[in-house]
Each structure stands twice: as structure tokens, then as C-alpha cells.
Amino acid sequence: MNFEPFIMPFNIGLYFILAYCVVRCVVWFRGLSRSDKLRLQRGFFGRPFMQSISEIINESLLHRRIFKVNPVLGYMHMSLAFGWFLLILFGTIEADYFGAHHLNPPSRAIFFRFFNPDHGEAGFARAFGFMMDLILAFILSGLLLAISKRFRPKTMGMRKTTKHTLVDRIALTSLWLIFPSRLMAESLTCGAHNSGSFLTGTLGHAMASVMPAAEIAPVFWWLYSLSLGTFFVLLPVSRYFHIPVELFLIFMRNSGIRTGDKASSFTEVQLHACSSCGICISTCQMSKSAGINNIQSAYLVKGLRSGSDVSDITKNCLMCGRCEEVCPVGIELGPLRMIQRRGGEKQYEKIPVIQQYHLKRKNVSTEKEVTHSYSYLKNTTPVKADVLFFAGCMTHLTPSIIQSMKKIFDEAGVNYHFMDESGGVCCGRPLMLAGRDKEARELINHNSDIIWKSGAKMLVTPCPICYKVFNESYYLDVEVLHHTQFIDMLIEEGSLRPGFMNRSVVYHDPCELGRGSGIYTEPRNVIGYIADLQSVDEEAEKSLCCGGSLANFSLSSDKRRNIAADAIQILTKDNPTAVVTACPLCKKTFSSVSETKVTDIAELVAMALPHAKPAALTTVTKNKNVTVSASNS
């Protein structure tokens, strides 16, 4: 075999990137905790392995998830990834089958046409050549879309596309050059040798008739090899590093490794697996409704990767979970942000010695260290009851929910105690959302003590924020139920018999209840007993955030209202008589911008009970002005 110098850039790039990936994987593997290491080892031999393979085919090659969100974008990614994969796969088979030897080096397959210019004259070889041309055409169609997306994102249904660094731009250019230069190189070679299929053959023939194809061809073979080599070498420092990292991430995830509370090498893998596709930006309501375009997960990940200050990005997020739901790579964006929120306080942990000296010189006392503490909370004597009702802070501002729950308890004959009737203690979830787990624990312990001593078997709350923390972070021996679950249970066992009211309503999934706790069916069951439940455009896993989220610490009330107004517009598109939700905060936030009545599921049930007063559901707040001013402000 004679040596061809033009394959050198390709070879250098390929072996470099392979070696780099192996080293990086080893480093990351070593950074895992003991149990995660075991998980990954076990995952490699068994069902998780097959799962990973199928996920790699589905997601890394076919990009099914992107397809679901945006078919055109999905096609673009699929043509590039799956097309390239097919090109390599069939190229290798072609080289192996038709080439001079078996088990060739990769360059033989990549530059097959160069080494076998006369290939594909007849029969099977001809069909193979046709297929290779077809695959190349497939990739080139995706490439056209990619170029148009870069210059005009709106044509692809994207509102925003991520900004690129210089390295990214060079890598992108070399990526874009790979396939056109291959097309040109193959066509010219085919033109000179009068071979090739429908694409390379036709194009080559046309070019050969106007220029000396055999002389020009090497230029494009060089360009082809160079662009491949450049792309591979720049891969680790560019955004395209996500391509190999995603494969590793898939194996880790399928082995059962999760983000957890602290940063680990798994979080690092996730950061590098982000492709900056921008789907999280397009999905984010902060972008759509509030015009805030610098805090989305893609920017958080980017900031974390580059080690820049992300404290403002970290806090300014509704934590609604919509981005995580649509992330095509499946990165745990919520937990990643939470880790960052928890870490935020660390900068205050230590005062450098030199600064201490400075403080002493300035007579500044360092003794008055301010730390958050709830030691002022006093033990209370709990009341014994079967069922504890914890309304939560917000519900005290929506007394209709409390009244309705009391009515429901009485109607069903439940022996309950209203735990925070005259003011309780916060459930601790808001503090956790602020990243202050330690302080939250003080509140959790306080509440747990009351719950334990009450001897109750069940804890019911109408607040999804409280529900999530009771369910996940409290160690209780009682059953924790959101009121939607509790009411569903009462109706099912027959102790509550609401009547059907023949009204059309829509249901809004609160973030903490739906995506946050996976409760989708119970509220729908309950509404189904009472009213005609219409479907809405964005519901269940895709449900919108009301904008009132406690997880955001910077958003202004104007912008919150803009988010709410846009969401309510989508919810009330088909003119339902009421928007039903299952969260006091959602109710409050929506009520201030909605013309349509916003009601909690408990109110709907209480209204449908046989002894209830005549329904007030039809009294729609006729104030068009509210939304007008909301959108003006």
C-alpha cells in the first residue's frame, strides 16, 4: 500500500480524539463515588448495557426527543448524526468487502473512493455506490438546514440560538466543510474515472467536462481530510465535545447514577454533554413571556463549564422543570441548579487570615457572626387526631380553599385537626429552594415533632410546595397526601359523593405537583366526577408555570404577571367556565390576571357536594382591564 500524505491530518485528529476520550473517561470514572463506580461496573454487564445501546441509537443517532419537540430540528440532527454514522458504517463495510484487504485502517474507509476510483461499475457494487451517495445526500440536506438555522433561527421554529465562541466557530466551520468537500472530492475523482452513482457520478461528469477533474480532486481530498482533522482536534475544547460525552452519560445514567445533592464527576459529565441546542431557551417562559434571555439552563451550563460567576443566573429561575422535561440529552437541569444554589453560601465560610488582621486593625468585631437560626421556635403540644390538615402559608391567603376543605372533611366524617389554623411554621421547602438545606432542617424537625406526637395516620395538605417537601424530605410515619389524592380517595371509597355539574373546565397542573411530584391522574379523576374536563394545549408534563413560583428570588411582580397572563391565555383558549388548579399560589397568581374564574379543586368539590350552597362558579370576574394593565406594565 502506497502512503498518501493527505490522510495525515485525518489520522492525527482521529487518534488524538480517541486517546483523549479514553483518558477523560478514566478521569471521570475515578472521580465517581464508590457506589457510583460499582453501579457503572455492574451497568456494563447486564440489561443497562442494552438499554444504553438502544438509547444511543434512539437519541444520539435518531434524536427522537428533539423530533418530538421540533420535527425540523430533529431531522437536522438526525441527518447529521445518523447519516454520518451510516456513512462510516457502510463505508467500513464497503472498504472491507470491495477493498484490497480486510480489516483496513479507518482512513481506507473514509477515503474509499480515492483508493478505489473505478469502484461501482456493475451489480452489487453499483447498488452500494448508490446507497453511499444517498446517505451523503441525506447528510447534505441536514447541513443545509443547519446553515439556515445558524443564520435565521426562526425558520427552524427556534426563538433563540446560543451564542458561539471563536473556537466553536472554527469547529463549526470545519464540521460544515466536511461533507461538501467529500462531495466535491468524490465527484471529481468519479468524474475523472467515469464512475460513481447518481450524485457523485452526475456531478463529477458535469465537472469533468469543464475542468481537469483529476488535477483538482486532490485539493478537495486534502480539504476533506483537513476539515475532519481540525474538527477532531478542536472537539474537546468546542461545544461539539458533547457528542462523545453524551455516549458516556447514557451509560452512566442507565447504570442508575443520579445527580444527587453535591457536585461530582457525574455533574461534570452532564455539563459537557449539553449540546447548547437551545431547546431549553425556547421552552422557558421567562424568555417567552418576561423577555429574560440570559438565565436559561443552557447559559447556566455554559457558565459552569467556563467557571464564570453564575450566581445571578442560579437564583433567577422558576424551577418549573419545563426545560428538564424537554432536554434532548436528558440532563438533570433542576438538580444541577440546586447544587449551585446550595454552594452559593460557601464563599462566606472562611475569612482569610490576612483579612482577619485587617478587620482587627479596623476595630470591626468578627464575633457578631450572623447565621440564620430558628431556635426561637417553641415546642407545642399537639392535638390528637386521625388526619392532620396542614394548610401552609399561602393557603391562609386563599381562605376559600380552607373553607372548602373543612366542608369536605365534615361531609366525609373525617376526624381531623387543622394543624396550622392559628399560624404554623413554614414547611421548609422555600428554604431548600434557596439552597439552605441546613436551616430548612430546623423547620422540618419542628414540624415533624408535632406530626409524630399527634398520632395521626395521615397528613393532608392543599399546597404542592408543602406536599413535595413532606413527601421527600420529612421522615414521617404518616401517609402524606396532597388534597387531590385525599379527595380522590374519599370519592373512590364512597364517603364523598359530589354531583355532576355539567360545566366545562380546564385543569392547570401546578409545577411542584405535576413535574415535581408526578401527580397527574388524581386531580383529573376528581374533576371528572364533577365537571367536563377539557384538554388544553400544554398540559401534564408540558404544563406551564403560573409565574408565581417561590423558587425564583429575583423576578419582579410585573414580569410574574406577564408570565401568568400568557399562561392563562393558553389555558382559557376554548372559553372554559373555570380554570381549576390545585395550588394556592397558582390560584392567587392567576386570579390577578384572569377574566375567567380561577378555582382550587377543593372549591369545585365543595361546591358539588349535596349540601352546598348554590354554585358561584358562573360569576366570572368581568374585568377585562386587569389583563390590559398587566400586559401594559
Partner 1 sequence: MSQVSQQKFGFGINKSRLINYDKGDRRVRQYITDREPTFKLCFSCGACTAGCTAGAHATVNMRRVNVYIRRGELEPIREEVTRCMMCGKCLLTCPRGVNTRTVMALAAEAMKKLDRNEL
Partner 2 sequence: MAKQIIIAGGGVAGIEAAATLADMGHKVNIIEKGSSSGGNAVRWHALFPDRRPAGEVISYLNNRVRNKNIEVTYNTCVNKVRHHGSSLVINLSSGEELKADAFIVATGFDLFDASRKEEYGYGIYDNVITAPELEDMFNGGSLYTADGRVPERVGFIHCVGSRDEKVCNHHCSKVCCVTAVKQAIEVREMLPGCEVFCFYMDMRMFGPYYEELYREAQEVHNVNFIRGKVSEASNTINHKVAVKVEDTLAGRPLRMEVDLLVLMTGMEMSATGASLAEASGLRRGKNRFLSVRDNHMHSNNSDLPGVFYAGTCTAPMSITDTISHARSAALEVNLYLSER
**Contacts with partner 2 in 585-624 (CB under 8 A)?**
588, 591-593, 616, 619, 621-624
377 binds, among partner 1, partner 2, none (CB under 5 to 8 A by kind): partner 1
Q: Does 379 bind partner 1 (CB under 8 A)?
A: no
348 binds, among partner 1, partner 2, none (CB under 5 to 8 A by kind): partner 1
DSSP assignment of 416-470: EEETTTT-----SHHHHHTT-HHHHHHHHHHHHHHHHHHT-SEEEES-HHHHHHH
| Sole residue written with cell 423547620 | 443
In 152-240, which residue ranges form alpha helices assigned H by DSSP?
166-193, 200-208, 213-234
Q: How far is CA 110 from CA 13, 91, 133, 170, in A?
A: 13, 7, 14, 22
Q: Does 398 bind partner 2 (CB under 8 A)?
A: yes
Q: Does 56 bind partner 1 (CB under 8 A)?
A: no
Of 103 and 370, the one with the shorter C-beta distance to partner 1 is: 370
**CB under 8 A: which stretch of 151-159, 393-401, 447-455, 476-484 binds partner 1?**
393-401
Residues 6+ apart with CB under 8 A from 164: 172, 239
| Sole residue written with cell 472554527 | 170
Q: Does 588 bind partner 1 (CB under 8 A)?
A: yes
Of 226 and 426, the one with the shorter C-beta distance to partner 1 is: 426
CB of 180 to partner 2, least distance (A): 56
**CB under 8 A: which stretch of 57-65, 268-276, 390-398, 480-488 binds partner 1?**
390-398
H/E stretch holding 354 reads: helix 353-361
Q: Does 569 bind partner 2 (CB under 8 A)?
A: no
CB neighbourhood size of 360 (10 A): 11
Q: Does 628 bind partner 2 (CB under 8 A)?
A: yes
First to last CA, the chain: 74
Q: Does 364 bind partner 1 (CB under 8 A)?
A: yes
Grid cell listed for 606: 365543595
CB of 423 to partner 2, least distance (A): 9
**CA–CA separation, 525 and 482 (whole Å):** 14
Number of residues that bind partner 2 (CB under 8 A): 26
Q: Does 373 bind partner 1 (CB under 8 A)?
A: yes
393 binds, among partner 2, partner 1, none (CB under 5 to 8 A by kind): partner 1
405 binds, among partner 2, partner 1, none (CB under 5 to 8 A by kind): none
- From 78, 8, 81, 23, select the one nearest 230 (Cα to Cα): 8
Q: Does 369 bind partner 1 (CB under 8 A)?
A: yes
Of 362 and 624, the one with the shorter C-beta distance to partner 1 is: 362
Q: Does 633 bind partner 2 (CB under 8 A)?
A: yes
Q: 173-178, long-range: CB within 8 Å, 24+ apart, which pairs?
A: 174/226, 174/227, 174/228, 174/230, 174/231, 174/234, 175/227, 175/231, 175/240, 176/143, 176/146, 176/147, 177/223, 177/227, 178/224, 178/227, 178/228, 178/231
Q: Does 359 bind partner 1 (CB under 8 A)?
A: yes
Q: Under a CB-based contact definition with an 8 Å cutoff, are residues 513 and 583 in contact?
A: yes
Q: Which amino acid is at 153?
A: P
Residues 6+ apart with CB under 8 A from 353: none
Q: Does 308 bind partner 2 (CB under 8 A)?
A: no
**Contacts with partner 1 in 411-450 (CB under 8 A)?**
423-426, 430-431, 433-434, 436, 443
Q: Which of 399, 438, 521, 554 binds partner 2 (CB under 8 A)?
A: 399
CB of 132 to partner 1, least distance (A): 59
- From 505, 466, 463, select the one nearest 484 (Cα to Cα): 463
Q: Does 550 bind partner 2 (CB under 8 A)?
A: no
Q: Which residues lie near partner 1 (CB under 8 A)? A: 348, 351, 355, 358-359, 362-374, 376-378, 393-394, 396-397, 423-426, 430-431, 433-434, 436, 443, 548, 550, 553-558, 585, 588
Residues within the interface to partner 2 (CB under 8 A) = 396-400, 402-403, 557, 561, 588, 591-593, 616, 619, 621-626, 628-630, 632-633
